[in-house]
């Protein structure tokens, strides 16, 4: 590989670029995770992350990727053969479904077209037919990273409540947390799953389960085997700021700094910034005459925008060309969308000029790849950003 000057544009929908402040915070000696100094760090991040999830309940931090936290949510609350209801919002919902099936759970998948979020009424309708309360949990992906569609978690909560069904409500906001508005307590979520490498602006390597009293009560009866993921041992150690096994100490230094940065900016401002950049991106896509995959304006993701290419044009070829020519990584189409779409990540530590550089790379790439489009998308985004 030849030397490339300047910064690589990492515009995939996570991992997102890690700000220098976070890199510097992590650049510290590893300390004894059972020594007196560690408890201050442990307590600071365990308290701080609750504010990001908007919860008063405990949040468990695993040295694992998001997939581990998916598994943890299920094995702590469910028993072999339990029925769970999931919604086919895209590739990540499909992977969570596969994981649940491998654990021996009976998964019912409400079908979806990968262009809409989970349908609150379809969930309610299925729960109403479940007279014997066989369904133990409803699992929804909040921000479906494969499609750029954000499900309406508050509406789904209300729809579940209207049925009076006692199922647990579990939500994956691995790519939503700290970019899209999220309210664990207010939305009555029992287990929220998240990860470090998206809105929290950290490298990959830690992931989370935010809990509820109901989830903790269910954990006492749940019989799926668990050891590493067991909330019990975690919470017992966390009470004094420690972990039952070696934590990802340097990522926790980074997490402390990330929480500080998010709180100095203000979470509401962070969410508004993401909405504004998402809107500018959609305006660019529209000006190019291309199609945004998400069909419901109420479900457009503030985290990423997925762009559908005209029939006969290979999105992977376009991405390869943009990487080679302009040193920018864009997200690939996943699962059944492979080659059909590319995904623009606009999450985490991003500002107007980073976004405009990203959109310029896409617009130049479309021209170089011979993808039919109208020029002027960047201009449209500039006009929008300059006006507000
Ligand atoms: N769920 C969603 C919505 C994701 O975006 C991802 C990863 O991108 C995952 C789950 C899996 O997380 P990980 O790759 O960290 O295991």
Ligand 1 in reach of 175 Cβ (< 6 A): yes
Q: Tell me, in angstroms, the distance from the centre of ligand 1 to residue 255's CA.
A: 18
The answer to whether residues 109 and 86 touch, using CB atoms and an 8 Å cutoff, is yes
The answer to whether residues 302 and 180 touch, using CB atoms and an 8 Å cutoff, is yes
Residue listed under structure tokens 């468990």: 60
Q: Which residues sit opposite 343 in a β-bridge?
A: 306, 331
Q: Taking 70 as the threshold, does the pLDDT of residue 118 lie above it?
A: yes
> Closest Cα to residue 258, out of 26, 9, 10?
26
> What element of type H or E holds 335?
none
Atom of ligand 1 nearest to the CA of 68: 16
Report the top-level CATH class of 20-263.
alpha beta
Ligand 1 in reach of 145 Cβ (< 6 A): yes
Q: Tell me, in angstroms, the distance from the centre of ligand 1 to residue 221's CA.
A: 28
pTM of the predicted model, to two decimals?
0.98
Q: What is the rounded distance in angstroms from the CA atom of residue 387 to the CA atom of residue 361?
A: 22
Residue nearest to atom 14 of ligand 1 (CA): 66
Q: What pLDDT sits at residue 345?
A: 98
Q: What percentage of the chain carries pLDDT values higher than 70?
A: 100
Q: What is the rounded distance in angstroms from the CA atom of residue 54 to the CA atom of residue 232?
A: 22
Counted residue by residue, the chain has a size of 388
Ligand 1 in reach of 45 Cβ (< 6 A): no
Q: Could you read off the pLDDT of 214-268 as tens digits, one per residue?
A: 999 999 999 999 999 999 999 999 999 999 999 999 999 999 999 999 999 999 9
Task: Tell me the C-alpha to C-alpha distance, in Å, between residue 30 and each of 1, 34, 228, 325.
Answer: 33, 12, 22, 39
CATH architecture of the domain covering 9-16+267-387: Alpha-Beta Complex (3.90)
Q: Could you read off the pLDDT of 142-162 as tens digits, one per residue?
A: 999 999 999 999 999 999 999
Average pLDDT, the chain: 98
Atom of ligand 1 nearest to the CA of 67: 16
The ipTM is 0.99
Q: Could you read off the pLDDT of 326-346 as tens digits, one per residue?
A: 999 999 999 999 999 999 999
> Closest Cα to residue 202, out of 331, 347, 327, 343?
347
Ligand 1 in reach of 89 Cβ (< 6 A): no
Q: What pLDDT sits at residue 1?
A: 65
Atom of ligand 1 nearest to the CA of 173: 3
Residue nearest to atom 12 of ligand 1 (CA): 66
Q: What is the rounded distance in angstroms from the CA atom of residue 347 to the CA atom of residue 284?
A: 17
Domains of the chain: which residue ranges? 9-16+267-387, 20-263
Ligand 1 in reach of 172 Cβ (< 6 A): yes
DSSP per-residue string spanning 177-189: TTTS---TTTTT-
Q: What is the rounded distance in angstroms from the CA atom of residue 265 to the CA atom of residue 275?
A: 15
Q: Which residues sit opposite 168 in a β-bridge?
A: 137
Best residue among 62, 145, 198 to mutate for probing ligand 1's pocket (most ligand atoms within 8 Å of CB) is 145
Ligand 1 in reach of 71 Cβ (< 6 A): no
Ligand 1 in reach of 151 Cβ (< 6 A): no
Q: What pLDDT sits at residue 103?
A: 98
Q: Could you read off the pLDDT of 15-46 as tens digits, one per residue?
A: 999 999 999 999 999 999 999 999 999 999 99
Ligand 1 in reach of 195 Cβ (< 6 A): yes
E strand spans, 146-190: 149-150, 168-172
């Amino acid at each position: 590989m030849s030397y490339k000057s300047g910064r690589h544009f990492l515009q995939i929908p996570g991992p997102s670029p890690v700000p220098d402040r976070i890199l510097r915070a992590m650049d510290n000696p590893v300390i004894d995770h059972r020594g007196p100094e560690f408890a201050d760090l442990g307590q600071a991040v365990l308290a701080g992350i609750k504010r990001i999830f908007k919860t008063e309940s405990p949040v468990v931090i695993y040295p694992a990727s998001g997939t581990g936290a998916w598994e943890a949510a299920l094995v702590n609350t469910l028993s072999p053969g339990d029925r769970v209801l999931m919604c086919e919002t895209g590739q990540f919902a499909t992977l969570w479904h596969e994981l649940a099936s491998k654990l021996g759970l009976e998964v019912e998948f409400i079908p979806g077209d990968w262009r809409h979020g989970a349908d609150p009424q379809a969930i309610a309708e299925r729960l109403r037919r479940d007279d014997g309360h066989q369904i133990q949990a409803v699992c929804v992906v909040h921000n479906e990273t494969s499609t750029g569609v954000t499900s309406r978690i508050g509406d789904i909560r209300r729809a579940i409540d209207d049925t009076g069904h006692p199922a647990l409500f579990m939500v994956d906001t691995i790519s939503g947390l700290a970019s899209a508005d999220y309210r664990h307590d207010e939305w009555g979520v029992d287990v929220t799953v998240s990860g470090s490498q998206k809105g929290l602006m950290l490298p990959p390597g830690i992931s989370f389960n935010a809990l509820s009293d109901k989830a903790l009560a269910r954990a006492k009866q749940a019989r799926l085997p668990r050891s590493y993921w067991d909330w019990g041992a975690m919470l017992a150690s966390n009470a004094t700021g420690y972990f039952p096994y070696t934590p990802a100490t340097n990522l926790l230094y980074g997490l402390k700094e990330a929480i500080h940065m998010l709180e100095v900016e203000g979470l509401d401002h962070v969410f508004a910034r993401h909405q504004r950049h998402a809107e500018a991106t959609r305006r660019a896509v529209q000006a190019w005459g291309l199609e945004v995959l998400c069909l419901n304006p109420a479900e457009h993701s503030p985290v990423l925008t997925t762009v559908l290419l005209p029939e006969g044009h290979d999105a992977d070829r376009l991405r390869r060309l943009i990487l080679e020519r302009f040193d920018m990584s864009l997200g690939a189409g996943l699962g059944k969308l492979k080659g059909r779409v590319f995904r623009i990540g606009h999450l985490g530590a991003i500002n107007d000029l980073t976004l405009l550089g990203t959109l310029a790379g896409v617009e130049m790439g479309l021209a170089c790849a011979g993808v039919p489009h109208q020029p002027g998308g960047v201009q449209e985004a500039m006009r929008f950003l300059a006006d507000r």
